[in-house]
């Protein structure tokens, strides 16, 4: 496997390893928290010849270095199955019960993580067999959901905002929509991209239900915008303040990576 010359896995404990799992893909990136010039991202699609778990096993075993001791190892799940719980109502002993309010058939493991401010908890599920395999074969991994760094992005960016904002991220054949008032999340949802009219209808419905102003409140866009120009053009006709998220990760990435790296990865690298 090709890795840049400046990454020496003989000193893997100097790097952070992050794995990102989508329903049909596996990607990872390695970077140095001490040296911004050291960053490598790689992804592969998962076919249908093997089961989801067997594909992940094959990638892990073929590449061969994932079990090494890294400074930090994280696994991020990308899915539409998650729910937000305010800290005041969160009880770690009741995560399954809380998750079942929205989802009747979780995939096995119900996991949770707090946002940076600790004001919200993200509950999400993961295949039990996948979780167990990664727990055995990675060095002390922590598990996360793709929506968490996106929420954290708004929690930190919106502190001085008096108006409401709607953040729309196009990624992995999904659309993630987060609405905030100031730095307080109002709603968060992720749904599969079906067609442009369904996407714009859903976003417009969110604006109507949360009483966002078409003239005063902000619509912030990020992710795979090139693929969704039709939706963006429609939204610009409906909403006056349309902006694009500009992120500044703490590692050196190319312009091509800035355009193609998922927003949740870039947001996580900004912390």
The pLDDT confidence band at residue 183, using thresholds 50, 70 and 90, is confident
Specify the CATH superfamily of domain 1-145. Protein of unknown function DUF3822, N-terminal domain (3.30.420.250)
Exposed (0-12), middle (13-18) or buried (19+): which is 160, by Cβ within 10 Å?
A: exposed
Query: In the structure, what pLDDT confidence band is assigned to residue 46 with cuts at 50, 70 and 90?
Result: confident
What is the mean pLDDT of the segment spanning 191-219?
93
Band the pLDDT of 3: cuts 50, 70, 90. confident
The tokens describing 8, both together, are 């020496």
Q: Which CATH number is correct for 159-250, 2.130.10.10, 3.90.1010.20, 1.10.10.60, 3.30.420.260?
A: 3.30.420.260
Q: Where are the alpha helices (DSSP H) in 77-181?
A: 95-100, 128-137, 147-157
Q: Is the Cβ–Cβ distance between 240 and 214 less than 8 Å?
A: yes
Residues 6+ apart with CB under 8 A from 43: 20, 25, 26, 27, 28
Each domain of the chain, given as residue ranges in start order, spans: 1-145, 159-250
Report the alpha-carbon angle 262-114-151, nearest 5: 40
Q: Is residue 210 within a helix (H) or strand (E), and if so which, with residue range?
A: none
Residue 45 in contact with residue 25, Cβ under 8 Å?
yes
Q: Comparing 1-145 with 159-250, is the CATH topology the same?
A: yes
Tokens of residue 136, six digits: 């055995």
Give the torsion sign (CA, 203, 153, 189, 227): positive
Region 65-92: what's the mean pLDDT? 96
> Taking all residues of the chain, what is their mean pLDDT, rounded to a whole number?
92
**pLDDT tens per residue, range 67-78:** 999 999 999 999
List, in order, residues 6 or more apart from 164 with CB less than 8 Å away.
179, 180, 181, 186, 210, 212, 213, 217, 218
Torsion of CA 207, 211, 214, 217, to 10 degrees: -90
pLDDT at 224: 95
Instruction: Give the confidence band of 163 by pLDDT, cuts at 50, 70, 90.
Output: confident
Identify whether the C-beta of residue 151 lies closer than 8 Å to the C-beta of residue 117.
Answer: no
The conformation of residue 89, written as its DSSP 8-state character, comes to: G
Tokens matching residue 26: 């596996």
Q: Please report the pLDDT score of residue 1 as a whole number.
A: 55
Tell me the DSSP string of 232-258: HHHHHHH-SEEEE-----SS---HHHH
């Amino acid at each position: 496997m090709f890795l840049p010359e400046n990454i020496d896995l003989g000193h893997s404990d100097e790097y952070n390893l992050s794995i990102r799992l989508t329903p049909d893909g596996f990607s990872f990136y390695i970077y140095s928290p001490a040296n911004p010039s050291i960053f490598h991202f790689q992804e592969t699609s998962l076919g249908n010849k093997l089961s989801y778990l067997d594909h992940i096993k094959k990638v892990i075993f073929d590449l061969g270095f994932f079990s090494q001791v890294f400074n930090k190892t994280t696994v991020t799940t990308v899915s539409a199955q998650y729910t937000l719980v305010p800290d005041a109502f969160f009880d770690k002993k009741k995560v399954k019960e809380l998750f079942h309010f929205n989802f009747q058939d979780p995939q096995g493991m119900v996991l949770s993580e707090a946002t940076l401010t600790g004001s919200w908890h993200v509950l999400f599920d993961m295949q039990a067999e996948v979780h167990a395999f990664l727990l055995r074969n990675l060095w002390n991994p922590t598990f996360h959901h793709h929506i968490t760094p996106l929420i954290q992005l708004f929690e930190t960016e919106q502190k001085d905002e008096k108006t409401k904002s709607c953040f729309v991220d196009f990624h992995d054949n999904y659309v993630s929509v987060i609405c905030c008032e100031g730095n307080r999340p109002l709603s968060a949802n992720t749904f599969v991209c079906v067609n442009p009219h369904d996407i714009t209808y859903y976003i417009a419905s969110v604006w109507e239900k949360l009483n966002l102003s078409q003239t005063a409140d902000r619509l912030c866009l990020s992710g795979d915008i090139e693929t969704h120009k039709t939706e963006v053009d429609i939204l610009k006709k409906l909403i006056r303040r349309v902006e694009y998220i500009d992120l500044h990760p703490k590692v050196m990435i190319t312009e091509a990576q800035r355009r193609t790296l998922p927003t949740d990865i870039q947001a996580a690298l900004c912390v």
